[in-house]
Structure 1
């Protein structure tokens, strides 16, 4: 069970890294065309919360399915 949870956490971290990676390459000069820092932080926070919620749902489904397997 712990291996599944570790795998899900790693998957969530990979998703978050993929979402944040385009932000690292942005030009640091002030540009009025793009989103500001706080807007970007809010968007990344919402996406991270969404990824964690989806991960929790998947963990619940796997746990429920694993507990339903007869062991005797």
Structure 2
């Protein structure tokens, strides 16, 4: 019976860090999401600026 208890304790000790303690996980997702949003806004701003500049340079007869 001691082998079974040992194996149970060993497996429990190995899986606890993997399966438990998700504290702080939401903060990392918020940071990643904020960085993606900032990057998307920057890309849209660059594209709109270039399109506006190109549209203003079109020669009209």
TM range (shorter): 0.5 to 0.7
- The alpha-carbon distance between structure 1 residues 69 and 51, as it changes in their structure 2 partners (threshold 3 A), is same
Provide runs of 4+ in structure 1 moved above 2 Å: 30-33
Could you list the runs of 5+ residues in structure 2 that have no partner in the other structure? 1-18
Which fold has the larger relative contact order, with Cα–Cα distance below 8 Å and residues 6 or more apart in sequence?
1
Larger Rg: 2
Between Structure 1 and Structure 2, the one with more helix by share is 2
Could you list the runs of 5+ residues in structure 1 that have no partner in the other structure? 1-29
| Number of residue pairs aligned between Structure 1 and Structure 2 | 42
Q: TM-score, normalised by structure 1?
A: 0.51
For the aligned residue pairs, the C-alpha RMSD in angstroms reads 2.2
Q: TM-score, normalised by structure 2?
A: 0.59
